Amino acid sequence: MTTEQLLSWPAPSRSRGREPADPRFADGTAWIDGKLVPVAEATLPLLDWGFLRSDACQETISAWDGLLFRLDDHLDRFWRSLERLRMASPLSREEVRGVVHSLIAAAGYDNAYVQIIMTRGRPPIGSRDIRLCANRFQAFCIPYVWIATPEVQQRGLHVHVGSRHRVPAASVDPMVKHYHWLDFELGLLEAFDNGAETVVLTDGHGNVLEGPGFNIFVRQGDRLLTPRTGMLDGMTRRTVMEICADAGIQVEETDVPVEALLAADEAFLTTTAGGVLPVTSVGGRAIRNGPGPFTAQIHAAYWQRRADGWHGEPVDYAAASAILAAE
Ligand SMILES: Cc1ncc(COP(=O)(O)O)c(C=O)c1O
């Protein structure tokens, strides 16, 4: 197969989805205070510390062709974030699973992007005692999100190495999937100013870490490198490592200096929002002319596994009806 063919992805074949349960759900759904609402109408209490202090954690979960991917792994990671932030979920794990299914079912999507979110909540008015906050659960579902559109993936992304460092792990635990994104957001603006499409941030010691919503891999000859620390252990990163392990390809979790990225034979980003995204230029310099063959193979393997139902959980398209009937 050509690189171009490998960089396409299996067109949805099953189409388990259906019409939205309510036409107002066509743009997406949200779960707020135990109710399903159209996503554009979802609001948060102004005094929630999730908003006032970025005191929140989340999981981004995708469904493709009616199959949720690695839902149990996402729930494990969500509960790990909760523990590290010393939050308590008002919903059980099975209730959260039910919400994920209901959000997609109500929207009727085959291909969906779901966020489940815990915010700190707020203490009684007048108090600043974090221990008195009642943690709040909310979630939303919108159509599947691509960090890079399929067309951009065919030619590869232009990446900028940000001048700003990622918030240090000693300050904010990167293994908590959090919203401390001001470094990424300003890095993105810097990337756009420099004609790039996204940004990777470094650790302040010259090593690349991750970017807004993705991990990074670098191929140099027969070595495949990915940062070992200071970043989120992305679900897609894990998937790529499993694909590589099955193929007998060694992935080195190590420091990845910016120079290694600049001198890479190939580089790619991994994310729930798009899968395996080829990189073809860094800092305005082409690292190669078009996506590389190794990246294309990993891209194809990722989408093939998803199409085969690997780590897949079929969306329960009947899940929304009971909740909607009770409202
Ligand atoms: C900071 C950060 N790193 C990496 C990732 C990639 O993780 P995953 O593959 O689980 O989507 C994300 C996903 O949103 C992220 O926010």
User: pLDDT 10s per residue in the chain (327 long)?
Assistant: 777 777 776 555 555 567 888 899 999 999 999 999 999 999 999 999 999 999 999 999 999 999 999 999 999 999 999 999 999 999 999 999 999 999 999 999 999 999 999 999 999 999 999 999 999 999 999 999 999 988 899 999 999 999 999 999 999 999 999 999 999 999 999 999 999 999 999 999 999 999 999 999 999 999 999 999 999 999 999 999 999 999 999 999 999 999 999 999 999 999 999 999 999 999 999 998 899 999 999 999 999 999 999 999 999 999 877 677 766
Which atom of ligand 1 is closest in space to residue 239's alpha carbon? 9
pLDDT of the residue at 17: 61
pLDDT of the residue at 151: 86
Residue to mutate (ligand 1; options 69, 177, 184; most atoms within 8 A of CB)? 177
pLDDT of the residue at 290: 92
Closest C-alpha residue for ligand 1 atom 15:
213
Which atom of ligand 1 is closest in space to residue 236's alpha carbon? 9
Query: Nearest 5 degrees, angle CA 91-CA 92-CA 96?
Result: 70
**Pocket residues for ligand 1 (CB within 6 Å)?**
60, 210, 213-215, 231-232, 234-237, 270-272
Ligand 1 centre to CA of 280 (Å) is 20
Ligand 1 centre to CA of 289 (Å) is 27
Residue to mutate (ligand 1; options 232, 236, 311; most atoms within 8 A of CB)? 232
Ligand 1 centre to CA of 306 (Å) is 18
Ligand 1 centre to CA of 99 (Å) is 21
Domain boundaries, the chain: 3-145+314-326, 157-289
Alpha helices, H only, the chain: 3-6, 49-52, 71-84, 93-107, 150-155, 182-193, 235-246, 258-262, 293-307, 319-326
The model's pTM is: 0.95
Q: How many CB atoms lie within 10 A of CB 144?
A: 16
Closest C-alpha residue for ligand 1 atom 4:
214
Q: How many CB atoms lie within 10 A of CB 83?
A: 11
CB of 29 within 8 A of CB of 38? yes
Ligand 1 centre to CA of 213 (Å) is 4
Which fold is adopted by the domain 3-145+314-326? D-amino Acid Aminotransferase; Chain A, domain 1 (3.30.470)
Ligand 1 centre to CA of 275 (Å) is 11
Ligand 1 centre to CA of 272 (Å) is 7
The span from the CA of 210 to the CA of 1, in Å, is: 30
Q: What is the CATH number of domain 157-289?
A: 3.20.10.10
Which amino acid does the sequence have at 124?
P
